[in-house]
Every structure is written in structure tokens, then in C-alpha cells.
């Protein structure tokens, strides 16, 4: 009897183990591909800075800070493609003193504000 019970437990747990194994494999593949994409984005951004294609973030924040005071909450540097033309854009979120949230898109090459959205 104990032998039959252990065989039954082994048979019922085998599919669970296979399922867990598949989930772990899928998670590791997705995690690795996500990391490599993030690393390649970071590398491309660094190369753009070194090549003079984008201004340093400090320079951009100094320029926009004159007309857009506030605490910087988030900054992203993205390569946007519009109409077949690619350009680097800083997406910057600021919090004003009164609580308004400001989202700026800034041309990373020139430091000029492309768009500005304010949420009160």
C-alpha cells in the first residue's frame, strides 16, 4: 500500500513539475531578452551622447528650467520616429510647487521644447 501511494503522488506531481519548469523557462527567456533590450537602448543612448547627437541631460535641464520650474520626477531618452525621420527626444516629467504635473518632450539635439502638457 505505501508503495502504491508514493507512485500515485509521483504521477500527480510530474505534470505540476513540468508546468513549473515551463513557466520558469519562459520567465528566464523573457527576462534575458528584456535585459538585453534595455542594455542596447542604454548603449545606443550613450553612443548618441558621445557622438554629439544629444545634449547632456544636465544641459537640457538647465535650459528648460528657466521657463519650466519644478522638481524633476522622471526622465526618459527615446529615439522617436515620426514620418520616417528619427530623432532623440527627452521626455521629462516635472512637478510644480502648486501640484501641477508638467510633461515635456524636448529635442535632445537642440534642447528646444517640442511639446508641453500640463495636468493640474
Answer yes or no: do 13 and 59 share one domain: no
> Which residue spans within 6-111 are E strands per DSSP?
71-82, 85-95, 101-107
- The answer to whether 59 touches 77, Cβ cutoff 8 Å, is no
Range of the domain at 89: 54-119
pLDDT in tens, 80-106: 887 788 899 999 999 999 999 999 999
Answer yes or no: do 40 and 74 share one domain: no
pLDDT in tens, 27-80: 444 444 444 555 677 888 889 889 999 999 999 999 999 899 999 999 999 988
Rounded Cα gap, residues 101 and 118, in angstroms: 6
Answer yes or no: do 59 and 99 share one domain: yes
3-state secondary structure of 109: coil
Answer yes or no: do 47 and 58 share one domain: no
Q: What is the number of structural domains in the chain? A: 2
Answer yes or no: do 6 and 44 share one domain: yes
Answer yes or no: do 39 and 62 share one domain: no
Rounded Cα gap, residues 26 and 21, in angstroms: 9
Question: Rg for the chain (alpha carbons), in Å?
Answer: 25
Answer yes or no: do 114 and 95 share one domain: yes
Amino acid at each position: 500500500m505505501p508503495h502504491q501511494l508514493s507512485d500515485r503522488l509521483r504521477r500527480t506531481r510530474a505534470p505540476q513539475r513540468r508546468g513549473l519548469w515551463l513557466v520558469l523557462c519562459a520567465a528566464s527567456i523573457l527576462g534575458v531578452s528584456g535585459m538585453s533590450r534595455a542594455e542596447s537602448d542604454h548603449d545606443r543612448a550613450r553612443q548618441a551622447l558621445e557622438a554629439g547627437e544629444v545634449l547632456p541631460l544636465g544641459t537640457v535641464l538647465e535650459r528648460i528650467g528657466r521657463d519650466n520650474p519644478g522638481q524633476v520626477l522622471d526622465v526618459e531618452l527615446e529615439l522617436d520616429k515620426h514620418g520616417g525621420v528619427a530623432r532623440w527626444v527627452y521626455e521629462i516629467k516635472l512637478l510644480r510647487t502648486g501640484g501641477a504635473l508638467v510633461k515635456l518632450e524636448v529635442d535632445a539635439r537642440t534642447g528646444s521644447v517640442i511639446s508641453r502638457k500640463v495636468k493640474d
